[in-house]
Structures are given as C-alpha cells and as structure tokens.
C-alpha cells in the first residue's frame, strides 16, 4: 500500500514557506501536480515550481494576499486558466507576528491572525469548493496547531484564530461531506523546518521533555500526514483534528 496521488492537482497556500515547501514536495513525490501559492517570496516559489517540473510534474507559482477576497478570486481565475482547478486544497498560509502576553500584544495582531486563519479558510472555500462539488470529489487539509489545544501563555492571538478556524473546518466538513469532499485538520507541534536547520536546531529540552515520543516534529512528519489525508486512503475520514505532535496533545473523547 502506498500513497498515490497520480492524476490529482493540488494547491498549497503558503507553499513557498518552510512547512509549505515540504508539503509541496511530498505531494509531488506522491504523483500530484502542485500549484504553489505565495504572497511575497516569488523567487522561492518560482524555484520550487521549476524543481517540480524538472522531476516530471506540472507546477506553477501563483501570488495572492489570502486576507483579500478579490486577490484570492484573481488567483483562482489564474489557477483555473493556466494550471487547472485543484482536487486537493492545502490551507497552510498564516501571517507571522511577534508573540507577547495578551496585555502587551498589539490589537492589530488579533485582526491579522483572524484574517489569515479564519477568513483565509472562508475565501479559499468559496473560490475552490464549488468546483469540488461539481466533480463530486475533493480533499481539503488545513494546518492548525497544538496551540489551539494547549492555550499556553504568549500566543493568545494565534490560539484564538486557530480555534476559530477549527470551528469553520468542522462545519464545512458536515456541509460538503455529501459531495464526497473531506475536510481535515493537522495540528503540528513545534516543528523543525529548513529555516531552523540552516541556523541551528534548538534542542528545546523543556519542550522535548513534554513530548511522549521524546523529540520535536519535523516538516516531513507534517507533510506525510498531509499526503495521507489528501489521498483516497483517507476517504472515510473527515472533520478530524489530528495532532502531529509526538503525543504532546491528546484530544479527549
């Protein structure tokens, strides 16, 4: 048994970022053609698309501000015209900001997190789910976070937005299940990506001590789950919130 995405088209938001790049590559290795969304890093997205094309897959980079509905619509139109509408949608982009305790956090950070988590999901769904409904098939995988469960100090803007995202995803899963569309969430822990590898991996002994499997997760750990949920091996899984955090988060029944 293997994950086979041959003949599928995927779109990954935040596809030029640290986690996004690994998801893009993994979907491609499983046989999918992959459209790479970016906002500001056009060079990285274009280089990644060329890398995938050199391996025999179709790929292209597409820019959009995922907090702007008109920008998302324009991306949808360009993807449809030049690449083809995706069977698989990976909602992964998020605005980065400096974490502070709630009393010190800038109010604008709460708005940016809501817009890049909750409203991105709304805009992407409105633009791409109608096609999935027409073809009676679709896979949507959303990057959430262990922080939505842990609610630890210093991440109130991020946590509140991701918890809102969780609500949107669960409702959408119930609304589109009849159309053979699955909608699932991955909740990574503190994940190692290429950016950290380049600068030196933080051993984070206190964090690792709280992880039953005794290590930090990697971008490949997350990408593997994304590929599984994108495949027909997960055809009867929807509405799930799946921590990929080494056991640090164990949602209760």
Catalytic residues: 158
Question: How far, in whole angstroms, is CA 4 from its chain's centroid?
Answer: 19
Query: Is residue 4 classed exposed, middle or buried when 0-12, 13-18 and 19+ CB atoms within 10 A define those classes?
Result: middle
CA distances from 84 to 58, 78, 79 (A): 10, 9, 6
State the pairing for strand pair 88-91/59-63.
unpaired
Q: Which residues pair with 33 in a beta bridge?
A: 9
The span from the CA of 23 to the CA of 221, in Å, is 10
């Amino acid at each position: 048994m293997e994950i086979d995405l041959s003949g599928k088209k995927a779109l990954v938001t935040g596809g030029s970022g640290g986690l996004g790049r690994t998801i893009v590559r993994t979907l491609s290795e499983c046989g999918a053609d992959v459209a790479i969304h970016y906002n500001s890093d056009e060079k990285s997205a274009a280089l990644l698309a060329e890398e995938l094309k050199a391996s025999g897959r179709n790929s292209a980079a597409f820019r959009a501000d995922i907090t702007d509905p008109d920008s998302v619509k324009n991306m949808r139109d360009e993807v449809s015209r030049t690449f083809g509408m995706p069977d698989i949608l990976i909602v992964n982009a998020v605005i980065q900001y400096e974490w502070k305790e709630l009393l010190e956090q800038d109010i604008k950070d709460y708005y940016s997190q809501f817009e890049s988590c909750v409203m991105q999901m709304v805009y992407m769904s409105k633009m791409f789910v109608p096609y999935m409904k027409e073809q009676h098939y679709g896979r949507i995988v959303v990057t959430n976070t262990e922080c939505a469960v842990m609610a630890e100090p210093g991440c109130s803007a991020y946590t509140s937005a991701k918890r809102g995202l969780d609500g949107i995803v669960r409702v959408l899963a119930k609304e589109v299940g009849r159309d053979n569309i699955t909608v699932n969430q991955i909740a990574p822990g503190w994940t190692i990506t290429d950016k950290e590898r380049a600068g030196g991996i933080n051993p984070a002994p206190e964090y690792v001590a709280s992880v039953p499997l005794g290590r930090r997760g990697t971008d490949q750990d997350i990408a593997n789950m994304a590929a599984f949920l994108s495949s027909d091996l997960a055809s009867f899984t929807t509405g799930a919130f799946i921590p990929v955090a080494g056991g640090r988060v164990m949602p209760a029944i």
